[in-house]
């Protein structure tokens, strides 16, 4: 069976600073038409930073859409002048946590909500962390607190609901797999 949907018409509903909303009329595989509302996003990066003693560096920040404070792995959107997602990952780690890393590994690329959002997330592992003496400044509208967590402490944050976003839950699963591999 063919699943592709052909775009018949496209209308820009909203053209914002961060996201753009399009309304598309599509032709379905069965010959009928439907409407798709699609959020266009420039893409983002996230970092799973581990200290030498095995703790993960997380950030606590207020998320307006949720109307509460959450704990997440450092992350941010791609900027227009980023030539590679790794550049953005390094920038976000330094801006949000004041750490830099000597070892980087791309772990995963994912689409968090492909039903209506084209945002592509690239997740990196960062090790060999060092505090940056004169770090990049945080974004003017960003207020974060660095949280160093053991795996058990991170699980407690998940249980309390402070860790609730997909990228950080993915990071916890990845961390568990790392721990299991070390035990084997």
Strands 68-72 and 6-15 turn out to be unpaired
For the beta carbon of residue 49, count every other beta carbon within 10 angstroms. Answer: 26
Q: Among candidates 121, 72, 76, which has minimal Cα distance to 94?
A: 76
Q: Give the active site residue among 4, 140, 159, 183.
A: 140
Q: How far is CA 134 from the centre of its chain?
A: 25
Strands 20-27 and 6-15 turn out to be antiparallel
Is 67 one of the catalytic residues? no
Q: How far, in Å, CA of 168 to CA of 37, rounded?
A: 27
Q: How far, in Å, CA of 101 to CA of 93, rounded?
A: 8
Query: Catalytic positions, please?
Result: 140
């Amino acid at each position: 069976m063919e699943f592709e949907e052909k775009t018949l018409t496209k209308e820009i509903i909203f053209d914002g600073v961060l996201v753009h909303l399009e309304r598309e009329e599509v032709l379905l595989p069965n010959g009928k038409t439907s409407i798709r509302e699609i959020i266009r996003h420039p893409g983002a990066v996230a970092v799973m930073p581990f200290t030498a003693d095995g703790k993960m560096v997380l950030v606590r920040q207020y998320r307006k859409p949720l109307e509460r404070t959450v704990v997440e792995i450092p992350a941010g959107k791609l900027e227009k002048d980023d030539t590679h997602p790794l550049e953005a990952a390094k920038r976000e780690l330094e801006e949000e946590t004041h750490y830099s890393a000597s070892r980087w590994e791309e772990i995963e690329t994912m689409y968090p909500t492909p039903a209506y959002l084209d945002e592509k997330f690239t997740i990196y592992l960062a090790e060999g962390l060092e505090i940056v003496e004169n770090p990049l400044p945080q974004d003017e509208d960003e207020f974060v607190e660095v949280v160093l967590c053991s795996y058990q402490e991170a699980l407690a944050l998940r249980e309390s609901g402070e860790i609730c976003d997909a990228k950080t839950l993915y990071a916890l699963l990845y961390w568990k797999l790392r721990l299991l591999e070390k035990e084997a």
